[in-house]
Amino acid sequence: MRLHWHRRDLRATDNRGLAHREEGETPVAGLFVFDPQVLEHASSIRVACLLQALEALKEWYRNNDSDLLIAHGDSSAVVPDVVIEYGASRVTWNEDYSGLARERDRATRAALEDQGIDCRSFHDAICHEPGSITTNKGTYYSVFTYFWKKWRDREKESPYDPPTPETLADVSGEELPTLEELGFDQPEATAPVVTSGAAQERAEAFCDGPIYRYADERDYPDASTTSRLSVDLKYGTIGIRDLYAMTERAASRIDDTDLEVSPETAREGVETFQQQLAWREFYAHVLAYNPHVVTENFSGYQHEIEWRNDPEELEAWQAGKTGYPIVDAGMRQLLEESWVHNRVRMIVASFLTKDLLIDWREGYDWYRRHLADHDTANDTGGWQWAASTGTDAQPYFRVFNPMKQGADYDPEAAYIKQYVPELEGVSPSDIHTWHELSSERRSELAPEYPDPIVDHSERREAAIAMFERARGED
């Protein structure tokens, strides 16, 4: 029997490691390990999503006359124990790219090999493994534009079929633990539905229409044109090859379908979404070669950046009470839904690092605790981009104006009012000029909503000066 160790590949379809079979190989059984060293870095919302995905995967195995085996403990000790218990001859798994995951996998591989147990890992979560897209010098890319050109033109694998019942082992596993048994409280935010079935439905719905408007509407948080598939890619409830193939099928239908947009707009929409898949892969490659980016700046400065430490301003940002409406809407959406629209993620990250002058690591940690779709590679990449410390980052002197961002991307203030009900009766024009109104006028319009906690213009100049000192320009 072969064991397939599931981690962030909680699906049966388009699972490269699970689908792999050597000639004459015996049946395969699925295994998941609740490893305390991994759970130490988890959060209630993410474990709640994990348990949903595992329950659906376990049901799939049982519907196919098998089961998902469940184990608890240090993976490097537990996986060999399960191998011995079931008399397995091989173990497979799909690669993860964070430093924590790679340390776990190295230790587990060493333990298996010490016992003479064959093991093999596969690159499954991304289309092109780290090291396969490189510069002419053979190094990884740190500029996305060049990476994207090669990624776009590189042939993609077809999705993998799921195992058939006759190729699955006849095993029986224990029931899944509860959140409480794993040491987590019930999350305050509403968890999304994270199952392979829900992922497929989301992907199909997106590729049947919104993808064609994606380029034009993706930056508008009230437009509902994003795919909402980030959580599925995080837990692997959808395969990347399967999703890419769906986007290609969407592209092939453009000339034969009566769309609400022009064919040119529709094609741009599909390519723009595929570009987002490439961004995800770009950051995975960067993390694979630079595991330190989780805690350290990718781009060095001559001097240390003089981040401020203001607990009150940080707390106001975390609670969505900064007095900047689009920022507060985003922070409250995070607390309510464990998800934030991508444009708004950039706005709130810029506000923390360039208006409050607070270290990006504070923002990364807050989002890591509250996002259902937290992905180490994506999130460190995004936060360091906003903070002007990462790969291909925005220049330090580019500072998002939160009021202009709100007016540009939420002109009717519909998104803002959804998450900041104190502004429900306030006109969009007043919301988008909130910082210019007198304190008396603001109190009259929305007595429960705070005044801006900082002056954007002043902090913008302070941020530029802070980065110039770090660059040694003073």
Residue range 113-130, pLDDT digits in tens: 999 999 999 999 999 999
Q: What residues have CB less than 8 Å from 417, skipping those under 6 apart?
A: 423, 424, 431
Rounded-to-integer distance, Cα 389 and Cα 293, Å:
10
Q: What's 358's domain CATH number?
A: 1.10.579.10
Give percent above pLDDT 90 in the chain. Answer: 95
* Residue 200 sits in the same domain as residue 333: no
Own/partner pairs, 392-396, CB within 8 angstroms, 24+ separation:
392/142, 392/143, 392/144, 392/145, 393/298, 393/299, 396/463, 396/464, 396/467, 396/468, 396/471
Q: What's 200's domain CATH number?
A: 1.25.40.80
Q: Which residues pair with 33 in a beta bridge?
A: 71
Quick one: pLDDT at residue 223? 87
* Residue 315 sits in the same domain as residue 285: no
Classify each residue of 427-449 as buried b or exposed e, where b means 16 or more C-beta atoms within 10 Å of its C-beta.
ebebbbebbebeeeebeebbeeb
Q: What is the pTM of this model?
A: 0.96
Q: Is 264 exposed, middle or buried (0-12, 13-18, 19+ CB in 10 A)?
A: exposed
Quick one: pLDDT at residue 24? 73
Q: Which amino acid is at 185?
A: D
* Residue 209 sits in the same domain as residue 60: no
Q: Which amino acid is at 426?
A: V
* Residue 224 sits in the same domain as residue 330: no
* Residue 318 sits in the same domain as residue 422: yes
* Residue 327 sits in the same domain as residue 456: yes
Which of 256, 289, 322 terminates a domain? The answer is 289
* Average pLDDT rounded to a whole number, residues 31-41: 97
pLDDT tens per residue, range 222-234: 988 999 999 999 9
Based on the structure, what is the number of domains in the chain? 3
Q: What's 13's domain CATH number?
A: 3.40.50.620
* Residue 96 sits in the same domain as residue 17: yes
Q: Which DSSP state fits 337?
A: H
Q: Could you give the C-alpha distances from 285 to 131, 289, 370, 377, in angstroms and in order? A: 8, 7, 25, 8
On whether the CB atoms of residues 225 and 183 are closer than 8 A, the answer is no
Place of tokens 């990449």: 381
Which of 125, 144, 160 terminates a domain? The answer is 125
Q: Which residues pair with 32 in a beta bridge?
A: 6, 70
- Provide the residue count of the chain: 474
On whether the CB atoms of residues 88 and 2 are closer than 8 A, the answer is yes
* Residue 315 sits in the same domain as residue 461: yes
Q: Assess if residue 94 is contained within a domain.
A: yes
Q: Could you give the C-alpha distances from 315 to 93, 102, 311, 353, 366, in angstroms and in order? A: 41, 34, 6, 14, 11
Q: Assess if residue 466 is contained within a domain.
A: yes
Q: Assess if residue 151 is contained within a domain.
A: no
Q: Assess if residue 188 is contained within a domain.
A: no
Here the tokens at position 453 are: 């906690």
Q: Assess if residue 150 is contained within a domain.
A: no
On whether the CB atoms of residues 352 and 341 are closer than 8 A, the answer is no
Q: Is the pLDDT of residue 211 over 70?
A: yes
* Residue 435 sits in the same domain as residue 328: yes
On whether the CB atoms of residues 378 and 97 are closer than 8 A, the answer is no
pLDDT tens per residue, range 387-408: 999 998 778 898 999 999 999 9
Give percent above pLDDT 70 in the chain. Answer: 100
Q: Assess if residue 135 is contained within a domain.
A: no
Which of 100, 125, 150 terminates a domain? The answer is 125
Of 14-28, 168-182, 210-224, the least confident: 14-28
On whether the CB atoms of residues 235 and 50 are closer than 8 A, the answer is yes
Q: Assess if residue 169 is contained within a domain.
A: no
Q: Assess if residue 166 is contained within a domain.
A: no
Confidence grade of residue 474 (pLDDT, cut at 50, 70, 90): low
Domain that holds residue 373: 311-470
* Residue 228 sits in the same domain as residue 365: no
* Residue 338 sits in the same domain as residue 236: no
* Residue 279 sits in the same domain as residue 317: no
